[in-house]
Amino acid sequence: MLAILLAGFAFAVEKPDVIWMDKLDAKERGVAVPEGTYAVWVWADDDKPATISIGGQTLTAAAKPKKDKKPGYAWINAGNLSITAGQPNLILGPTVASFALSTRPGFDPAKAMPDMRVLDRPDAVRDERALTVKHTDTVFTMPVYPELPKWETTAERLRRRTLVANGLLPMPEKTPLNAKITDRVTHDDYTVEKVSFEARPGFLVTGNLYRPVGKGPFPGVVCPHGHWEHGRLENTDVCSVPGRCITFARMGIVAFSYDMVGYNDSLQISHALNDDKDKLWAVHLFSLQLWDSIRAVDFIQSLPEVDPARIGCTGASGGGTQTFALTAVDPRIKVSAPVNMISSRMQGGCLCENAPILRMDNSNMEIGALMAPRPMIMVCATGDWTRETLRVEYPAIRSIYALYQKTECVDVHLVNAGHNYNKESREAVYQFFGKWLLGEEERYKNFSEPPFTVEPEAALRVFPDKKAPEGYPGKDQVIAQTIEANRAKWDAILPKTEGDAAQFRTIYGAALADVLGATVPRPNDIAPERKGYEERDGYVVERWILRRPAAGDSIPAILYRGRNIPVQDAVLIVPGDGKAGLADVENGGPGPLVKGLIEQGHAVMTMDAFLIGEHHSATERTVRVSEGRFMDTFQPTDTAYRVQDVLTAAAYLKNRRDLTGVVTVLGLGQGGMWSLLAASLDPGIGKALVDANQFKNNDDQAWVETYYVPSIRSIGDVATAAALMAPRPLYLFNTGAAFDVSRMRRAYDAVKAATLTVEPGPLAPDTIAGFIKG
């Protein structure tokens, strides 16, 4: 019988005869010891004495004499102790990294170490992903794109990820706007009215509509505001949203200014919305506002006097973010002016500017460049984060326009001021829109904004009493309706026939990779480092750290392969609690699962995924460095990195010349979900055995706590994984009553000759071996 506790691993049975702990676990958990007389072992610096005290009894292990004088760690028998049952006080000396207690005759922990650890010392592997910090104030450099196809491949991915990040793949149903336009105020050369319409059923977008006098057809401009104190009603020397719209109307452009969520007349949801459960469904401030902007275009195009082919967009600060987000996904915007926002050094400071997964390998520069080759002017200021635009951001984005041979379509204007959308900034935009939206360059090339008078606030407020209108849903209902709509539209595209399955993989197959930020490594992406090699009876043991230098990752892995077999199929075992638990700690060597697969003729690799096992030292836990509020905007989550590690290890096995390239993935514990997601992304993985671990896959809180990945539920989670995995064999076990397999079954039923096997309980090693062999 055995109890083993290691960093990242916990396994126990009653009345154990071996207790094994790292110092880290002893410090964090303490140790419970049954009564008995134990041999006491310590893994310690063998050049120095090592002490261990258990329940007030102290043993000292002498330093080992060495011939080579090289520093190292070794298992040393410190002596025997009789211990009373309980949780004794435990003190480990400074040179001790781990200890083991055993009542088993002949027990020697050193025999198991080569099957538990890659490193000979109690260190952690250095994985730069845990140390790398990216956030809104990171200084980014936009890559060089030497040719148009390279950029357009990137642009397609960035657009798709922006859509996925915001629940817009596929696009939601455009439900009736039910627009209300009221309380017109008429001036000699323009009118202004109050507007409300439903972006989603019952969820209001509110604002003001400024129209030229005359019949048109006129161009239209949608005007998102930024985080000014008064939102769309801001009227100061620094920024005047109404003044901008009045001037547009006087120029002959219909302008619609509308509220950000939670500002002014947008009263149903606070601007502080931030819930990880909602983010699973791509529901957050950024996504709500982006859909509002798309519907604002629908609204302005619906006006009879508006020419639907001539629509522009401009906003400053957070309104600048909304501008380039809209232009990234909506080709109806023909001219744009993001003001004081596109920057290499600041990506936006509000929740509404930081959609999860939006900037995992890019900055706002690339998102802004998605406007190309449509006309865009970048207005910047000497007194904010756009001060370097003339020499950094503008040349970067202009290089994309150059690929289209359209450099005349992008312009820049620097204002000597702080953060603003002031008169000078507005005039630069009027001149640009006059040229490109009105087609009257000569008339507007020196245009100056005439004086204007803004209406009293009450004449502009849609709800002057500042109360949400009766009969409309509140926040919880709006969020629930949006989540249900996202669920329903994805369920509708999940394959129902074999033809559907092929189309689904082609159109939507990349969405899962997008939310995870994961890729299947190419052969030369991986630079493995072998840390140990041992020949045994019938097989060899190789200890590796698998690295992708460009990503900075490090994956500790142990490979068992046959000695006299030319080539072998491989099995990759992904234990959720670390590879150490797969060793035979009592006797040394691999445990029964690995041993059985070796005897069956397979090469077997065990691994520690991100922040599991040897990602921690024996004495100290590795804590992922985090800075800022928007980590999931800029970097993959822990779960996403673990899925990537499975893909990397599988790619290594597929490309070894002494293996056949046939790889089966076996995920145990939490490693089951990582393995399912990885196998679905890599068609080179032949089959998968997935421990469902009785996970409650219909419970959003369970996803947040166990497998947090923003947007994953909005794109079908395990059902999409099954649709991408089919027709390859999938064995799903340990589902229990909690794990819902119905949507996965439907995905497999859509594909002929696809095999999905479901077992409610755990599997014995011989059953696993039988499935792999079959």
Neighbours of 382 (CB within 10 A): 13
Q: Chain-centre distance of CA 66, in angstroms?
A: 49
Full DSSP string of 231-285: GGG-BSSSBBHHHHHHHHHHHT-EEEEEPPTTSTT--SS-TT---HHHHTTT-SH
pTM for the whole structure: 0.96
Q: In which residue ranges of the chain is pLDDT below 70?
A: 1-16, 65-70
Amino acid at 347: Q
Round to whole Å and give the CA distance between 558 and 569. 16
Look at the chain and count its residues: 774
Q: Distance (Å, rounded) from C-alpha 678 to C-alpha 387?
A: 43
CA distances (Å), origin 240, targets 73, 433, 455, 530? 69, 18, 12, 63
How are the residues of the chain apportioned to helix, strand and coil, as percentages rounded to the nearest 5?
Answer: 30, 25, 40
Sheet arrangement for strand 756-759: 529-535, 539-548, 553-562, 603-607, 568-575, 659-668, 685-691, 730-733, 756-759
Pair of tokens at residue 353: 């500017």
Euclidean distance between CA atoms 239 and 223, whole angstroms: 13
